[in-house]
């Protein structure tokens, strides 16, 4: 008996939240709600960016992501064909109305070349999202920058010390 009552109590706020026709509630705006950048394993390799865009009242297309403090930013998609995983450039990505667009590991992602060292030291990179059908509005989002996974094995203090640093230790 008790679990049934509990479920009934939960159902009421869920129904209210699911009602999109409430004239009092402001429509959810198009927005970038989260994101982060993972640095390449070595400085010459591109960083990768992941994010989540919340759709607004109308469908729009994300046509570009740019960063003043990086040499180049591209949208990519990881695809698996005949058991081989490759990635291809993505010209645009749909943001459905009231839906979401997710760039995540193993799927759509950003590749970012040559992030300004000052931005890397600050630990964040501001990027601009350019949407069509949105009055050409640009939405800015500050991406926190994380070091590559596995980099912790050697530690940040080892930067610059290449494999040759261990020469002579063995033998
Ligand atoms: Cu890529």
How far is CA 78 from each of CA 27, 85, 88, rounded to the nearest angstrom?
Answer: 33, 7, 7
Q: Please, which pLDDT band fits residue 137 given cuts at 50, 70 and 90?
A: confident
Judged by DSSP in three states, 5 sits in helix
DSSP 8-state secondary structure symbol assigned to residue 10: H
Q: Please, which pLDDT band fits residue 159 given cuts at 50, 70 and 90?
A: very low
Kindly report the CATH number assigned to the domain that includes residue 64.
Answer: 2.60.40.1890
Of 58, 67, 78, which is closest to residue 129 (Cα–Cα)? 67
pLDDT score of 169? 37
Ligand 1 centroid to Cα of residue 114, in Å, is: 14
**Chain length of the chain:** 171
Please report whether residue 111 resides in a domain: yes
Residue range 33-72, pLDDT digits in tens: 999 999 999 888 999 999 999 999 999 999 999 999 999 9
Please report whether residue 15 resides in a domain: no
Range of the domain at 101: 26-146
Ligand 1 centroid to Cα of residue 102, in Å, is: 15
Please report whether residue 100 resides in a domain: yes
pLDDT score of 27? 79
How many domains are contained in the chain?
A: 1
pLDDT above 50 (res 162): no
pLDDT score of 71? 97
Ligand 1 centroid to Cα of residue 26, in Å, is: 37
Judged by phi (left if over 0) then psi (alpha if -120 to 50, else beta), residue 63 lies in alpha
Sign of the torsion angle spanned by Cα atoms 145, 148, 150, 153: negative
pLDDT score of 149? 75
pLDDT score of 135? 67
Please report whether residue 152 resides in a domain: no
Please report whether residue 72 resides in a domain: yes
Ion ligand 1, residue ranges at CB < 5 A = 76, 87, 111
Structure-derived torsion over alpha carbons of residues 75, 78, 81, 83, reported in degrees to the nearest 10: 160
**Mean pLDDT score across all residues of the chain:** 80
Ligand 1 centroid to Cα of residue 49, in Å, is: 9
Please report whether residue 127 resides in a domain: yes
Mean pLDDT on 84-102: 95
Please report whether residue 167 resides in a domain: no
């Amino acid at each position: 008996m008790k679990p049934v009552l509990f479920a009934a109590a939960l159902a009421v706020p869920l129904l209210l939240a699911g009602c999109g026709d409430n004239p009092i509630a402001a429509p959810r705006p198009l927005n970038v709600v989260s994101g982060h950048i993972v640095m390449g394993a070595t400085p010459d390799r591109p960083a990768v960016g992941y994010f989540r865009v919340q759709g607004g009242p109308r469908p729009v297309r994300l046509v570009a992501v740019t960063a003043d403090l990086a040499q180049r930013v591209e949208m990519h998609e990881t695809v698996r064909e005949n058991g081989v995983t490759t990635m291809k450039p993505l010209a645009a990505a749909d943001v459905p109305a009231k839906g979401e667009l997710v760039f995540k590991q193993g799927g759509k992602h950003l590749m970012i070349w040559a992030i300004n060292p000052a931005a890397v030291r600050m630990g964040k990179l501001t990027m601009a999202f350019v949407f069509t059908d949105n009055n050409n509005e640009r939405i800015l989002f500050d991406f926190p920058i994380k070091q590559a996974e596995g980099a912790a094995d050697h530690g940040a203090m080892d930067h610059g010390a290449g494999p040759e640093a261990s020469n002579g230790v063995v033998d």
